[in-house]
Amino acid sequence: MHKQKIAFEFSVFDSLEELSSEDRSLLQTAIAARKNAYAPYSNFQVGAAVLMENGKVVIGNNQENACYPSGLCAERVAIFQAGAIYPGMAVKAIAITATSKDYVVKEAVAPCGNCRQVISEYEQKQESPIPILLMGEVGKIIKCDAVADILPLAFGSSFLKE
C-alpha cells in the first residue's frame, strides 16, 4: 500500500479590475445573467456564462421548481444550452457568480458536484482544460485552471469500455 496526494493551485484576485479583459467581460456577463434566475425558493440567484471557441457567450441561471429536485443549476442550464447551440465546439472558459435576496454573498461560489461532473464531461470530450472563474456578489474572485482540478479522480466515458 502507498498513499498518493493530489494538490492543485488556483488564482485569487481581489477585484474584477485585476482580471484579463476577456475574463472580466465573461464574469460581467455572468453577473448580468444572475438577474433572470428563477429562484423563488432559495432566493439564491446564480449566473453562469460560457465562452465558446468562436467567441460567442452562452448564459444560464438557476431555474428552480416547486418539486425541488426538478430545478437546475445555472452552470448546467448554460453548458447544456451551449452544447445544444454549438454541438462539438470547444468551451474556452466558464464564469459563475451568485447573489442572494437575503444577504450579501461574500465568498466565491463553487459549482456543486453534479455541475462539476457535467462540466467534466465537456472537458474530457474536448481534451483541453476549461478554466472556471468563481465569484460571490462581492469579495475575492477565484480562477481554477481546469474542472479536473476541482473534481479529482473523475468518472468519465473511459470507464464504460474495456
Binding residues vs ligand THU (CB under 6 A): 39, 42, 44, 46, 62, 64, 71, 73-75, 109, 111-112, 115
* Residues 107 and 139 sit within 8 Å (Cβ to Cβ): yes
53 is catalytic: no
Closest listed residue to residue 133, CA positions, set 123, 125, 141: 141
Q: CB of residue 4 vs ligand THU: minimum separation in angstroms? A: 28
Q: Give me the numbers of helices (H) and strands (E) for the chain, helices first please.
A: 4, 6
Smaller CB distance to ligand THU: residue 46 or 130? 46
Q: Minimum distance between the CB of residue 6 and ligand THU, rounded to whole angstroms?
A: 22
User: What's the grid cell of residue 15?
Assistant: 477585484
| CB of 3 or CB of 72, closer to ligand THU | 72
Tell the smallest beta-carbon distance from residue 42 to ligand THU (Å): 4
CB nearer to ligand THU: give 62 or 120: 62
Is 119 in a helix, a strand, or coil?
helix
For residues 19 and 46, give the distance between their C-alpha atoms in angstroms, rounded to a whole number: 20
Instruction: Name the catalytic one among 18, 22, 53, 75.
Output: 75
CB of 158 to ligand THU, least distance (A): 26
CB neighbour class for 16 (10 Å; exposed up to 12, middle 13-18, buried from 19): middle
Strands (E), 53-127: 57-61, 91-100
Cβ proximity to ligand THU: between 34 and 92 the closer is 34
Catalytic residues: 75
